[in-house]
Structure 1
């Protein structure tokens, strides 16, 4: 029998979900020509004044909303940044797609386009191999930066200190072996050459060659890779594919002004 005053796990989840939905309701209400005051937001969303006030305070702290003197509440800088990020990803995928298709036609292997999202690889596009090969990645999926070819390509502009911190944080969890200094030396070599490999760190039987994509500011914004199993990707072929992948990445970068 449950004790009075104690929420069960499902009820806590329901409360959290309701809070999230109400926060989104507020953002959507403000997005329609703004809102002069909390009372107007409460009326539009059907919330009590106190609930609207509490959620608006949090949204302002996180920069999802802002208050403009004389005008009231408007969408904040965080939403603007996320909007630009979402738009750039859509644009990037559209720009890159023809080059990915050519790379797939040339290699017959699995092709990936990915970017970094919250410290992880986020797959924006994938073209499946024409060989009898299955790779576990999927569009919209995430994987670790540390162990994937595209992840390492996204890290190529990092400092030795940032690489070391990432290795210390994630290597043991991912089951990577070998001293940190060895991994950093590998990353320095990749940075010098302009491409990276996945040598089975993510999936033991998978190998890939990856290269970074840069925007007009020369910053790395994404990466592409060619992936297959060890049967189709011996070291000699990986070596031969490196300039091919780098050239495709360079062409996509040029389309982005890089």
Structure 2
């Protein structure tokens, strides 16, 4: 049963229990129930559910500790935080040099997720939102999709792609050809594919093993992005993405993508 503010009470209680386990590993159900103010039977049911999901685990003395799934979450969260920390000064410098909005996106399931941004002070600019998701087959998120394996690419291109503007690619063969072009040239240029009169330029960010873990993107109004300016932005975006990749341990001699 959801509350009026859309929170789910059982999820809230489960999270309280999880944090109690994190603060005091190896505590038993009785102590955890007392520390979270719930009945022992309810605490046990929630703990059992989380144990089945490998979020927590029971030790030899029937106490509880964090499980293997939390290790995965912790490593992932830490890598994303490190990525943003490393990317922030690069985003700020790129934003200052192009005086347009800059975003850092990662792959999240079958979508692109904005995890960092930097916007110029000028009045007319593209507004970016951290946490906003985009489909991968249209616009600059194609940069992320281009370097995935064929199975992932097939998952992300629907049989009938949604058309956002007159420039949205809705033919599978056209999309696949664009992905091949992105891999060959090392960057993506999108002209009004997701939003009319918007031009986006994006380049891949590589991890140490050569896989693409993010994309660096500049978004600008089309009327301000003439061909000469476009070439300038492409050079800055690709060099900035390369700097971030090198900061993550990637070497130019490493294989690029899959």
TM beyond 0.5:
yes
Q: How many residues align?
A: 246
Note if 1:183 corresponds to 2:175: yes
Structure 2: distance between partners of 1:160 and 1:174? 24
Sort the Cα spacing of 1:29 and 1:130 in 2 relative to 1 into closer, same or farther, 3 A: closer
The residue that corresponds to 2:216 in the other structure is: 224
Sort the Cα spacing of 1:208 and 1:177 in 2 relative to 1 into closer, same or farther, 3 A: closer
2:143 maps to which of 146, 153, 168: 153
Shift of 1:113: 1.4
1:195-214 equivalence runs, <5 A: 195-214=187-206
The residue that corresponds to 1:13 in the other structure is: 2
Name the SS of the counterpart of 2:236 in structure 1.
helix
Structure 1: distance between partners of 2:73 and 2:96? 34
Q: CA RMSD in A?
A: 2.3
Measured against aligned partners, the alpha-carbon deviations of 1:147-197 in whole angstroms (never above 9, x if no partner) come to 231x22222221334223211178227574532111111111111211112
Measured against aligned partners, the alpha-carbon deviations of 1:37-75 in whole angstroms (never above 9, x if no partner) come to 322322222222221121112211222111222362111
1:6-155 equivalence runs, <5 A: 12-14=1-3, 17-70=8-61, 72-149=63-140, 151-155=141-145
Shift of 1:130: 4.6
Structure 2: distance between partners of 1:90 and 1:156? 24
1:235-250 equivalence runs, <5 A: 235-250=227-242
List gaps (5 residues or longer) in structure 2. Answer: 251-258
Structure 2: distance between partners of 1:165 and 1:221? 18
The residue that corresponds to 1:9 in the other structure is: none
Task: Name the one with the larger helix percent.
Answer: 1
List gaps (5 residues or longer) in structure 1. Answer: 1-11
1:110 and 1:128 in contact (8 A); partners too: yes
